[in-house]
Amino acid sequence: MNLTLPNGFPIPTPGFGTYKTPDGEVCVNAVREAIAVGYTHIDTAALYGNECSVGEGVRQSGKPREELFITSKVWNTERGYDKTLRACEKSLKDLGMDYLDLYLIHWPANTKQFGDRADAINVDTWRAMERLVEEKMVRTIGLSNFYSSHMAPVLAAANIAPAVDQIEYHPGLMQEDTVVACRENGLLVEAWSPLGRARLLDNPVILDIASRHGKSAAQVILRWVIQNGVLPLVKSVHAERIHENFDLFGFALDDDEMCAMSALPEARFGSHPDTVEF
């Protein structure tokens, strides 16, 4: 299934994530298996340290590059105009690819670390992202972990508007203010850690709903994400789970089930963009 980005490009859902997938054979095999199952959207990042293996998995899959959607991200140490340009060049070299379908600023510079310089750093980084589109190294550009406060200066300065914001999103952390800001400004929301780093898989509310549908807890959570209009990025290195997490379109959750999952107590499993120090 494809969604459509603001620039008209299709983006497949669900996406296959590779965070904490170790570089080497494990990553190569996971990417190759995911593509064999039917995933065509592969998400990586410079931070993950596995871009070389992601690229090798793509090549071993035999799938033509133009039939895949590949995302990477510029890491925090490489913010700023010149460093962002060089970071993208390195990611492309490591992936063995000529272009990326989507390139994201991995985390916003925040005021905790950078004081009143934070907005200028984010805008300067965004200028480089736009240059990458102009140079045809990247087809689409976006953000990751940006709240509306981080997003607003970028939107005000942008010649090319961000197409995506990738945030922690799952039952218990819907980040409604950020989702509303994204939708008001035309950004697609992507969900990282949609399974709550596996901590939601034994939740009794979710397990009860899963039993009614004859599905796993993971499938029910991912279906909830999709029905909320958010694109989930799901990661596994196990073939059975890679298959299972792709099988999301043969059932639907009803309104009561959606509401029950949306009402789960708040729980954040990742870092907060305003307090990170990395």
Q: Is 48 a catalytic residue?
A: yes
99 vs 135: CA distance, rounded Å: 10
Measured in whole angstroms, how far is the alpha carbon of residue 275 from the centre of its chain?
A: 20
Residue in 39, 48, 147, 169 annotated catalytic:
48
86 vs 93: CA distance, rounded Å: 11
Distances, alpha carbon 17 to alpha carbons 2, 132, 191, 214, 242, in Å: 17, 23, 10, 25, 11
220 vs 69: CA distance, rounded Å: 25
- Pull the structure tokens for residue 57: 């998995």
Of 86, 16, 5, the residue nearest 46 (C-alpha): 86
User: Could you give the residue numbers annotated as active site?
Assistant: 48
